[in-house]
Structure formats: C-alpha cells, structure tokens
C-alpha cells in the first residue's frame, strides 16, 4: 500500500507540466484570457478609441492576473484555517463602513485604510461562500437542520449589513452566492421550493421597505417608457443598441449608439450592449459559449475536488459568476431591472475584476493542490 | 487506482459524491437553461425585431443633453459683485468629425495669438489619444475678436465649433482672494467624491475660501434637455426640457471698499488684518498679504505662473488670516490682566516695582524698557506695556490658570469660521506640553508665556475674535463671512465683576488716548474713543527650510501687532493687525489698525462721528 502510493506520486510528478508546477489550470486560464482579450477590445471601442482608458484596463488586468497567480499558490487547507477569521474581518469591515465609511455617490460603501480605498462588500463576494463552505466542510448528506439554519443566519446577517448601506442589488447577489453553497451542501428540495414560493409571496412586503430610488428602478423596469429622461432612457437606448446589431453586427468600432453617446455607461455596466451591437447575435452566442466554457471547467474542478470544503467553494464561486453574468445581461436587454452591476471579466473597472481573479486563483489552487491533500 | 478503491471501500462517501455531482449537473443545466433564455431574448431583439431597432437606431435622433447650472454669484455686504459669470467663447472639438486635425491645430495656434503655440500643440497631442466621438473643449478662451476670426474660417474646419459658455470672473482681482477663494478645474481626486449626476456638464469646482466652503450652495443642479438631431448629429430642435437649478447667490459680510482700503495699507508687507463686527461676528475685512489673482486659476493656470507663485518667498498662497501662526506678544496682556484680576491673583491697584527685569533661577528676564517702569499698577502695565509686571503675575498664576483664563477668548481653538484650512494656534498648558512635546513644563516658560511669547501662537482671526469678545464684555461670537450663515447662540464668559472688565478696557483706551500710551500719537485726531493694545513679537526661531542668506536679516525682524476696537462704549468694530518683520507694534501695526477703524466709522457712522462731511459721498449704494 505504502509503496504503491509513492509510485503513483512519482508517476504524477513526471507528467506534471509547467503550468501545473505553478498551480495554474490551463483550460481555465485559456477561457479567462480569451474573455479578457475581448474585454480590452470592446472597452477600447466603447470608449471611442480612448488609449488612456485601454492602457488603464490592461494594467488592471495585469495586476489581477498576478493576484490570481498568487492565490493559486495558497493550498486550500491554509484557506480552510483562515476562512472563519476572514469572515470575522469582513463583518468588522462592513460594520466600520456603516460607522465611518466614505459616502460616495449617495451610499456608504467605501472604506478608507491609508492609501487604499475599497468596498468591503466586494470582498464579501468571496468570503461568504467560503464561510458557508467552511461550515459544511465536515457535514454529511443530508446536512443537519441546525447547520442549515446557522448557514442561513450567516447569509442573512451579511446581507442585512449590506442592505443598510444601502445597496440592495449587491446584498441580494451576495446572498445568492451564499445560498448556492447551501444548495450544493444538500439543502433539501422541499425547502428550496418553499423558499421560492415564499419570496414570490413576500414581494409586496419588500416593496414597502425599499428606498425611493429602488422603487423607481422597479417601476422603470416595468414600464421603461414612463421615464424616458431618467433610467428608462438607459434601457431603451440599450435595447436599440442590441437590436440594431442584428445577426452579424455592425463590425468592430462600428457601434453608433455608444459613439454618438446615446448609450450611457458604455464601458462599464452597458458594455454588453456595445458588444451585441458590434458583433451581433453571433458575437453574443460566442460570448455566452465562452462563459459557459469557463463555468463548465469550474464545475468540473468542483467535481474533481476531494473534500467538501473545496468542492463547495468551487461550485459556489461558479454560481456567483453565473448570477452576475445573467443579471447584467438580463438588465441591459430589458429582462431584469436596472441594477448597477458590471459584466464579469468584460466591464471597465478594477474592483470586481480583482475579486473575480482571486476566485479563479482559488479554483486553480483547489485543482492543482489536490494530490498533496489526500495524504 | 486508490481513489476508486476508496470509494468502493466506503460506500457512504461514494454516495455522497454521487449526490453532490447530481447537484452539479442540475446547476449546470440551470445555467444552460438561463443562458438559453438570454439567447432567446437576444434572438428576439437582434433577429425578429431587428428591423424595428435598426430603424430606431438610424432615426435615433433624440439625445439627452445636460444643462449645467449657473454658479451662484458672490456679493459683498453692499451688493457689490465679487464673483461673476461672464460669457466667453471657447472651441469645442470632436475628432471623429474633423477632416484634417493638423491644419486645425495650426489654424487655432495662429488665432490664439495670446497663448504659447506649444500649449495648443500639447492639447492636440493629448486630444488625439482620447475618445474619438466625445467633444472636448479647448482650455483657452477666445476674445470676441478671436471668435470673429475663427467664424470666418470655421467652414474649413468641420468638427471644430465655437461655443459660448460662462466663465467665473473676479472683477476685483486679487482683492480679498483669501476670503473669496477661487474655482478651478475638477481634478481626479475631487471627481471621486462627487456625484457624477450633479456635476454632469460642469468642469469647475470651488478650490478654496468661500468658493469651496459653500460649493454645494453655489453649484446648483444640472437640468436635462432632449434634443432631436439628424443622422449626422446636427441639432434640429429641442424637445422636452428640465431646466437647471442655478446655484444660490451668496452675500458676504465683507465690505469690499474697506477691504481694498485695508489691503492698500499693508503695502508690500506680509501680514494680515481682520476686522469683525463684535456684536454679531460678521467679518468686515479679511486681509492676508501678499495676494494673488484668482482669475488665473479659473481655466487652469500655466506651470510657469504657478511655480512663480508657489516659490515666491513671500508665500502668497498661505492664508495668513486663519493659517498664519504668530506669537501674540504684548497683545496678550489685556487678557492676562483680566484673568488675573477676575480670579483675584492681584488687585488692579496693587503696585509692583519694576527695575527693568525679573530674576528667576539665575536667569534675568528683561523688560523692553531697560531702566524699568518703576512702580507699576495694572493700568500702567497695560498702557506702557510693562513686561516685568506680567512676569511677576505669571509666577503667581501658573501656566494652567493662565490657560484657563485665556481659553474662553478662543485662543488655541478653532474659531469655526466658514472657510476651510483654519489653524488652531497654541495656548500652552502643562497638559498640552506633556501631550505634544512629551516633556514637563518649566516655570521659566510661564514667564515668557505671560507676554505672549514662547509656545504661544495665535492666528490673526483668533486675535480679532478675542478682541471682539473683550469689546463685548464677554459675549462670545463666532466669526463668519457669509451673511446668512447661521450661528448658534453662544455663551457669555462668566463675569465675576464687570468693573474688572471696564478697568481693563479703560487701560486699553489709555493706550490710545493717554499721555503715556504706546499708540497715543496715532489716535490724537479721532473724534471717538477707541481701545487698543500694541504688540511687538520677537521672532525666536527660524524655520530651517526657509533659510535664505539674503532675506535672513529681514526675517529676524520683530512682528508688529495691534488689536483694538471702537467706539469704547458701544463697539462697532474690533480689529487685529499683524505685519510680519515690520518692527514695533506702535510704529507699524497701530497706525494701520487706527486707519481701518476710522475708515469704517466714516463709511457707516459718519452722521455720528463725522457730521461735517457729506455722508452720501462716503456710502456706496
């Protein structure tokens, strides 16, 4: 038995390529790089050929890739040890944002620590799924009711700290990222269906507690034409951009909607509309296939992971990624209400890119550190 | 394979994995289904409804334009305009529409004959790399003549359009620049903290002074306009409009004529003059010299002029009135005296013998008068500014009692004036030294503190405010520059015996009007009674960074100080004057202070004090 083991390890080492030595998953990296290259091209076009904007985006991508590489080096068992502490830290940061956060653009989301200014809610996108995974690391199928309740409480608590910032959109999405881990941990189907029914029934109550601007967004979503000067204008213009792209698009740099400045936030939240206008339905399908490929590879990594903690993290991260993609595209195409949310790996901007790439780094670490973990 | 064996040996774990993988499949299926919904939606928009949206895009002629708000104007207390918005011409460029960018560059360089060609060229170099479809404004304004010149050749340069906009102008130029402040282009750091909706279409923001402090009042809110354009982007007509909310106008408490007069008295000297209405804290004159022209900053100042100002050894950017920290010198004595007699450390009539120095621990603390003042009571100590009297007093009081007596007058604290960048100054105490310097207090330091030297530092505004509070017989006021600025009702300093206050004030009156007073020769002609105190502050230490052989001598000269108020029994104006390195207080600062007070009373109370003069001439508006 012992001899066998040594032999397998030796065989394994011999086949190990360069990428695996530096704990990088080639397939995942390929998908990510293709998406990032698309991002640079579209950001350049959406900004009307602004070289300064493109340069900044490339620098950010370089930085984020470096972070991914660094996080890929951290073995998952180290992450396991730190997860509860990270959660504690995250909660403390969320509370300090409420107490002495910077008020930027109407809501209190930023925290200033010396030269660094960041949104703790952004980090929570990673920490919450990890914490829920940590909670179920040694749990059996089906998990105990008390553990499920504890998990739900953690998610609700974190979500409520972000709701009061106020940032309803982010809080819902972070809540979903936690819930997806609960799902993979074996949340009973009965509970899932009851919860969905509950959400639908409680919508009128939630309406009552919404901020005026949030109500406005929902109303605008339902009837965009009612507010053609405000946010309804965004949706109308975005739909025109997408629809006018047709099947094969207007060609690269050919987006008239973005260039004539009909389209708002064309490099950030509405970047998908520029892509759809320039590359048409075929471009959209290509992009969604790329995304599906990355998600599929991530879920495959989850299926190959050898303990509960890592596979729950991997699956949870992929579901978070999916939700962000779906909500952004759903928003710009008028299927969902307007929530200020970037398109993962596509939009111009740094903070969401950084957290995403860290999550990919962790995924790669899970996949490439696995053999060391078995013993 | 050991993995496989593991699963077989542990059917429970195998079962676990199976159930997890099942959920993975379900999740992936869910993903694909929702992606399929997105694709269905895209098919609907891009295929089925493509014709409709294509039509809409081509006819997309309704665009939204932001209407930036007009910035509020700033007036002085008599409704004289201090900050205005003047229409100016500027060029807007859109690269996408330009045919020959280099020829446009050259043509503009020729027309803008007052701007270095290189600066235009530099703008174009940057412009070439930016968003091709956005409109950028050339950061130089055109005179009407230049605008006319451009209109003649404009047909040769598509993509370059002449536009009129409002530019902030300060008709009084450098006058009161440290109070008024100025606006400038919004920088990256400011941009981060702004609501982009509120600042859409605006590229300037208050950078200092009133312009900065009251930014939110002055700015207003942008409006929105729907514009119908043709395919080439030309405006056909304007549809629905939500007008901009202009910024509110602001009236200052300053009197710009008095301000100009006060600034002229400073001449080439560095320093500050603050005049306050002691009854309500309105700042009537707010002088910090040297000054600079705020108009330079509105469209962005060029590097050369900026560096010249920045490296000027006289430091024009420093707002000396609120940020200059000076030893108060002998102007601190009336407050010291009041604190001592109110708290029974000495009786006002008690006489102390002054041989011209005080010996404490083998150290001789000299009086400014070598031979000494002889027998000195409180009145004489203030009138002749006797140092030894206060040396003795300070040893009886101790630094903490001095601190307690002076701090109600606002020394060592922010005055709370409505502009940013105020300095707190220093009113030392044992606790302060322990906290800041980490050392214990020496009694010798108490002695020099008593004549406003040593650690004591005060801003001109603090000094004027303290004088106003003294003139008020203890009613605390908060200085402010904007008339509508709401000040909460403030306390009254506890008065133990009002006659003590009157005695100190009478002594200050004697400084001006008695035979021995240090400022007697400047106040002889006045038709009203005023109170005052001169001060001459030694410049103890030199800032190592400022060392400059040529100016060293001058920088070692004493600061000249004066505080005063008038009329004694019904104070209308309180004042502080500080002239850096300009010798004794009685020589330089006192005559300036007297003139400003006289000028103010001439303007506003000529009926009472100057009945023979024609009051209409004096009063503006």
Task: Find, in chain B, the residue whose alpha carbon is nearest to that of A290.
Answer: B35
Rg of chain A, C-alpha, whole Å: 22
- The last residue of one of the domains, among B227, B251, B275, is B251
Are residues B550 and B564 both part of a single domain?
yes
Q: For residue A259, which residues of chain B lie inside 8 Å, CB to CB?
A: 96, 132-133
Give me the DSSP letters along A351-367.
HHHHHHHHHHHHHHHHH
- The last residue of one of the domains, among B236, B251, B266, is B251
Hey, are the CB atoms on A102 and B23 less than 8 Å from each other? no
Contacts of B20 (CB under 8 A, 6+ apart): A141, A184, A186, A303, A311
Instruction: Give the C-alpha separation, B532 to B523, whole Å.
Output: 10
Q: Closest Cα partner for A126 from A324, A342, A329, A370?
A: A324
Residue B313 inside a domain? The answer is no
Hey, are the CB atoms on A244 and B56 less than 8 Å from each other? yes
Hey, are the CB atoms on B38 and A106 less than 8 Å from each other? no
Residue B75 inside a domain? The answer is yes
pLDDT greater than 60 at residue B269? yes
pLDDT greater than 70 at residue B543? no
ipTM: 0.90
Closest residue to B195, CB basis, from A53, A105, A262: A105
Q: Residue B390: its pLDDT value, please? A: 94
Lowest mean pLDDT among A340-344, B15-19, B367-371, B544-548: B544-548
CB of B454 closer than 8 Å to CB of B500: no
Q: Closest Cα partner for B569 from B542, B534, B530?
A: B530
Closest residue to B50, CB basis, from A5, A246, A291: A246
Hey, are the CB atoms on B32 and A292 less than 8 Å from each other? yes
Long-range contacts of A53-56 (CB under 8 A, 24+ apart): A53/A267, A53/A348, A53/B131
Mean pLDDT of A285-296: 96
CB of B293 closer than 8 Å to CB of B177: yes
Are residues B366 and B487 both part of a single domain?
yes
Mind listing the pLDDT tens digit for each residue in B186-198?
A: 887 888 788 877 8
Q: Closest Cα partner for B298 from B193, B134, B177?
A: B177
Are residues B215 and B279 both part of a single domain?
no
Are residues B152 and B239 both part of a single domain?
yes
Hey, are the CB atoms on B224 and A48 less than 8 Å from each other? no
Are residues B50 and B87 both part of a single domain?
no
Average pLDDT, chain B: 87
Number of domains in chain B: 3
pLDDT greater than 70 at residue A372? no
Q: Closest Cα partner for B451 from B327, B294, B309?
A: B327
Chain B: closest CA distance from residue A20 (Å): 20
Q: Residue B11: its pLDDT value, please? A: 65
Three-class SS state of B488: coil
Instruction: Give the C-alpha separation, B307 to B535, whole Å.
Output: 35
Decide which of B59 and A300 is more confident: A300
Mind listing the pLDDT tens digit for each residue in A107-128?
A: 556 666 555 556 788 889 999 9
Is the backbone of residue A114 left (phi > 0), alpha (psi -120 to 50) or beta? left
Instruction: Give the C-alpha separation, A17 to A7, whole Å.
Output: 18
B439 touches chain A (CB under 8 A): no
Are residues B193 and B102 both part of a single domain?
yes
Of the pLDDT bands very low, low, confident and very high (cuts 50, 70, 90), residue A15 is: low
Of the residues B13, B21, B31, the best mutation for testing chain A's interface (the one with the most A CB atoms within 10 Å of its CB) is B31
Mean pLDDT of B84-110: 86
pLDDT greater than 50 at residue B203? yes
Are residues B240 and B272 both part of a single domain?
no
Q: Residue A117: its pLDDT value, please? A: 57
End-to-end Cα spacing for chain B: 101
Q: For residue B192, which residues of chain A lie inside 8 Å, CB to CB?
A: 104
**CA dihedral defined by B327, B333, B336, B342, rounded to 10 degrees?**
-160
Q: Residue B614: its pLDDT value, please? A: 52
CB of A260 closer than 8 Å to CB of B132: no
Are residues B37 and B150 both part of a single domain?
no
Lowest mean pLDDT among A51-60, A238-247, B3-12, B418-427: B3-12
Q: For residue B12, which residues of chain A lie inside 8 Å, CB to CB?
A: 140
Q: Phi first, then psi: what are they for B294, rounded to 5°?
A: -65, -20
Mean pLDDT of B404-425: 93
Q: Residue A25: its pLDDT value, please? A: 92
Are residues B299 and B372 both part of a single domain?
yes
Of the pLDDT bands very low, low, confident and very high (cuts 50, 70, 90), residue A256 is: confident
CA atoms within 13 A on the CB side of B420: 11
Residue B240 inside a domain? The answer is yes
Mean pLDDT of A291-318: 94
Mean pLDDT of B219-241: 73
Closest residue to B2, CB basis, from A8, A240, A284: A8
Residue B13 inside a domain? The answer is yes
Hey, are the CB atoms on A141 and B195 less than 8 Å from each other? no
Hey, are the CB atoms on B45 and A280 less than 8 Å from each other? no
Domain that holds residue B39: 2-58
* pTM metric for this prediction: 0.65
Q: Residue B234: its pLDDT value, please? A: 63
Q: Which of the 8 DSSP states describes residue B97?
A: G
Closest residue to A261, CB basis, from B38, B133, B224: B133
Of the pLDDT bands very low, low, confident and very high (cuts 50, 70, 90), residue A134 is: very high
* Strands of the B223-229 sheet, one edge to the other: B62-67, B223-229, B235-242
Q: Which of the 8 DSSP states describes residue B330?
A: G
Instruction: Give the C-alpha separation, A103 to B462, whole Å.
Output: 32
Closest residue to B42, CB basis, from A180, A242, A262: A242
Instruction: Give the C-alpha separation, B184 to B306, whole Å.
Output: 13
Q: Residue A2: its pLDDT value, please? A: 44
Tokens of A374: 């078995």
Mind listing the pLDDT tens digit for each residue in B112-121?
A: 888 888 888 8
- The last residue of one of the domains, among B58, B89, B105, is B58
Mind listing the pLDDT tens digit for each residue in B156-201?
A: 888 888 888 888 999 999 999 999 999 988 887 888 788 877 888 8
CB of B328 closer than 8 Å to CB of B562: no
CB pairs under 8 A between A and B: 155
Hey, are the CB atoms on B46 and A245 less than 8 Å from each other? yes
Mind listing the pLDDT tens digit for each residue in B343-359?
A: 999 999 999 999 999 99
pLDDT greater than 70 at residue B229? no
Q: Closest Cα partner for A361 from A298, A293, A296?
A: A298
Chain A: closest CA distance from residue B368 (Å): 50
Mean pLDDT of B73-79: 95
Closest residue to A285, CB basis, from B23, B31, B39: B39
Q: Residue A321: its pLDDT value, please? A: 95
Hey, are the CB atoms on A315 and B24 less than 8 Å from each other? yes
Of the pLDDT bands very low, low, confident and very high (cuts 50, 70, 90), residue A220 is: low
Mind listing the pLDDT tens digit for each residue in B88-100?
A: 888 888 887 888 8
B235 touches chain A (CB under 8 A): no
Hey, are the CB atoms on A335 and B37 less than 8 Å from each other? yes
Q: What is the CATH number of the domain that holds B510?
A: 3.40.710.10
Are residues B510 and B585 both part of a single domain?
yes
Closest residue to B63, CB basis, from A262, A296, A330: A262
Lowest mean pLDDT among A178-182, A218-222, A341-345, B515-519: A218-222
Residue B200 inside a domain? The answer is yes
Instruction: Give the C-alpha separation, B385 to B334, whole Å.
Output: 10
Are residues B84 and B182 both part of a single domain?
yes
Chain B: closest CA distance from residue A245 (Å): 6
CA distances from A242 to A245, A286, A341, B125 (A): 5, 15, 18, 34
- Window 525-544 of B: residues touching A by CB (8 A cutoff) are none
Of the pLDDT bands very low, low, confident and very high (cuts 50, 70, 90), residue A3 is: very low
Residue B332 inside a domain? The answer is yes
B303 touches chain A (CB under 8 A): no
Residue B409 inside a domain? The answer is yes
Q: Residue B39: its pLDDT value, please? A: 95
* Sign, CA torsion A29/A34/A39/A41: positive
Task: Find, in chain B, the residue whose alpha carbon is nearest to that of A303.
Answer: B21
pLDDT greater than 60 at residue B457? yes
Of the pLDDT bands very low, low, confident and very high (cuts 50, 70, 90), residue A106 is: very low
Mean pLDDT of A33-45: 94
Q: Phi first, then psi: what are they for B396, rounded to 5°?
A: -70, -40
- Window 88-117 of B: residues touching A by CB (8 A cutoff) are 96
Lowest mean pLDDT among A9-18, A365-374, B521-530, B540-549: B540-549
Q: Residue A105: its pLDDT value, please? A: 46
Give Dmax over CA atoms of chain B in angstroms. 118
Catalytic residues of B, by residue number, are: 330
- Window 184-223 of B: residues touching A by CB (8 A cutoff) are 192-193, 195-196
Q: Phi first, then psi: what are they for A338, rounded to 5°?
A: -70, 115
Q: For residue B223, which residues of chain A lie inside 8 Å, CB to CB?
A: none
Hey, are the CB atoms on B60 and A260 less than 8 Å from each other? yes
**To 10 degrees, what angle do helices A308-332 and A351-368 make?**
150
Of the pLDDT bands very low, low, confident and very high (cuts 50, 70, 90), residue A7 is: very low
Q: Closest Cα partner for B389 from B372, B370, B364?
A: B372
Are residues B386 and B274 both part of a single domain?
yes
Hey, are the CB atoms on B130 and A52 less than 8 Å from each other? yes
Of the pLDDT bands very low, low, confident and very high (cuts 50, 70, 90), residue B616 is: very low
Q: Residue A66: its pLDDT value, please? A: 95
Q: What is the CATH number of the domain that holds B142?
A: 3.90.1310.10
């Amino acid at each position: 038995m012992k001899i066998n083991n040594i032999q397998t390890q030796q065989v394994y080492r011999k086949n190990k390529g360069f990428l695996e030595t530096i704990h990088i998953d080639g397939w995942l990296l390929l998908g990510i790089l293709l998406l990032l290259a698309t991002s640079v091209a579209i950001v350049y076009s959406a900004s009307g050929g602004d070289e300064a904007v493109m340069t900044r985006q490339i620098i950010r991508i370089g930085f984020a890739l470096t972070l991914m590489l660094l996080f890929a080096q951290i073995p998952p068992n180290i992450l396991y040890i730190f997860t509860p502490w990270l959660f504690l830290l995250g909660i403390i940061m969320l509370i300090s944002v409420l107490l002495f956060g910077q008020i930027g653009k109407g809501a209190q989301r930023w925290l200033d620590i010396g030269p660094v200014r960041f949104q703790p809610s952004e980090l929570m996108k990673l920490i919450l799924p990890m914490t829920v995974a940590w909670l179920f690391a040694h749990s059996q199928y089906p998990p105990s009711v008390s553990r499920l309740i504890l998990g739900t409480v953690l998610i609700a608590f974190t979500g409520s700290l972000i709701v009061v910032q106020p940032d309803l959109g982010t809080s819902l999405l972070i809540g979903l990222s936690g819930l997806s881990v609960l799902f993979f941990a074996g949340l009973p189907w009965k509970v899932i269906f009851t919860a969905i029914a509950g959400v639908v029934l409680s919508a009128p109550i939630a309406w009552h507690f919404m901020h005026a601007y949030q109500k406005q967004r929902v109303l605008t979503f339902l009837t965009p034409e009612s507010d053609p000067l405000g946010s309804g204008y965004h949706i109308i213009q975005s739909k025109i951009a997408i629809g006018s792209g047709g099947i094969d698009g207007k060609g690269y740099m050919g987006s008239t909607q973005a260039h004539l400045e009909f389209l708002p936030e064309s490099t950030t939240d509405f970047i998908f509309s520029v892509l759809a206008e320039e590359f048409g339905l075929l471009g959209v399908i290509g992009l969604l296939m790329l995304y599906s490929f990355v998600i599929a590879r991530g879920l495959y990594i989850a299926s190959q992971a050898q303990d509960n903690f890592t596979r729950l993290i991997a699956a949870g991260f992929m579901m978070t990624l999916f939700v962000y993609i779906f909500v952004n595209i759903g928003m710009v195409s008028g299927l969902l209400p307007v929530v200020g949310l970037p398109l993962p790996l596509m939009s111009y901007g740094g903070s969401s890119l950084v957290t995403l790439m860290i999550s990919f780094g962790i995924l790669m670490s899970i996949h490439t550190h696995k053999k060391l973990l078995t013993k | 394979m050991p993995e496989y064996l593991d699963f077989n040996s542990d059917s429970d774990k195998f079962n676990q994995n199976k159930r997890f993988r099942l959920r993975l499949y379900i999740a992936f299926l869910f993903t694909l289904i929702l992606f399929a919904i997105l694709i269905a939606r895209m098919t609907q928009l891009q295929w089925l409804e493509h014709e409709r949206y294509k039509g809409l895009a081509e006819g997309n002629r309704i665009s939204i334009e932001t209407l930036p708000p007009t910035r509020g104007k700033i007036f002085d207390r008599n409704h004289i305009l201090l900050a205005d918005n003047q229409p100016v011409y500027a060029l807007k460029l859109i690269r996408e529409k330009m045919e020959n960018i280099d020829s446009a560059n050259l043509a503009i360089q020729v027309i803008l004959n007052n701007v270095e060609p290189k600066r235009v060229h530099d703008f174009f170099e940057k412009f070439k790399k930016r968003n091709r479809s956005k409109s950028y404004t050339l950061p130089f304004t055109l005179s009407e003549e230049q605008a006319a010149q451009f209109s003649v050749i404009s047909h040769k340069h598509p993509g370059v359009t002449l536009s009129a906009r409002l530019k902030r102008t300060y008709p009084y130029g450098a006058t009161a620049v440290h109070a008024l402040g100025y606006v400038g282009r919004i920088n990256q750091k400011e941009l981060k903290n702004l609501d982009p909706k509120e600042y859409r279409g605006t590229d300037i923001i208050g950078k200092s002074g009133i312009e900065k402090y009251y930014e939110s009042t002055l700015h207003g809110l942008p409006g929105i306009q729907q514009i119908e354009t043709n395919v080439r982007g030309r405006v056909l007509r304007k549809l629905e409009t939500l007008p901009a909310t202009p910024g509110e106008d602001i009236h200052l408490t300053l009197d710009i004529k008095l301000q100009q007069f006060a600034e002229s008295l400073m001449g080439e000297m560095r320093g500050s003059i603050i005049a306050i209405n002691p009854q309500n804290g309105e700042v009537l004159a707010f002088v910090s010299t040297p000054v600079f022209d705020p108009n330079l900053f509105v469209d962005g100042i060029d590097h050369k002029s900026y560096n010249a100002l920045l490296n000027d050894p006289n430091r024009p950017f420093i707002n000396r009135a609120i940020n200059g920290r000076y030893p108060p010198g002998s102007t601190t004595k009336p407050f010291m005296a009041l604190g001592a007699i109110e708290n029974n450390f000495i009786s006002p009539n008690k006489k102390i013998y002054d041989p011209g120095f005080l010996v404490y621990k083998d150290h001789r603390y000299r009086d400014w008068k070598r031979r000494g003042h002889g027998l000195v009571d409180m009145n004489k100590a203030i009138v002749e500014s006797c140092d030894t009297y206060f040396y003795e007093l300070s040893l009886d009081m101790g630094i903490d009692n001095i601190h307690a007596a002076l701090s109600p007058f606002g020394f060592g604290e922010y005055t709370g004036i409505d502009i940013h960048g105020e300095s707190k100054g220093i009113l030392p105490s044992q606790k302060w030294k322990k906290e800041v310097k980490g050392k214990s207090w020496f009694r010798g330091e108490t002695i020099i503190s008593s004549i406003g030297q040593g650690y004591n530092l005060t801003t001109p505004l603090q000094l004027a405010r303290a004088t106003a509070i003294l003139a008020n017989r203890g009613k605390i006021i908060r200085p402010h520059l904007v008339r509508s600025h709401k000040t909460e009702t403030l306390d009254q300093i506890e008065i133990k015996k009002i006659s003590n206050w009157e005695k100190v004030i009478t002594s200050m009156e004697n400084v001006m009007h008695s035979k021995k007073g240090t400022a007697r020769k400047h106040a002889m002609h006045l038709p009203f009674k005023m109170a005052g105190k001169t001060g001459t502050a030694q410049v103890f230490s030199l800032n190592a960074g400022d060392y400059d052989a040529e100016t060293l001598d001058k920088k070692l000269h004493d600061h000249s100080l004066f505080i005063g108020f008038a009329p004694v029994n019904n104070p209308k104006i309180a004042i502080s004057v500080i002239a850096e390195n300009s010798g004794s207080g009685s020589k330089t600062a006192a005559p300036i202070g007297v003139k400003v007070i006289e000028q103010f009373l001439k303007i506003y109370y000529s009926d009472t004090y100057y009945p023979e003069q024609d009051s209409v001439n004096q009063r503006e508006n």
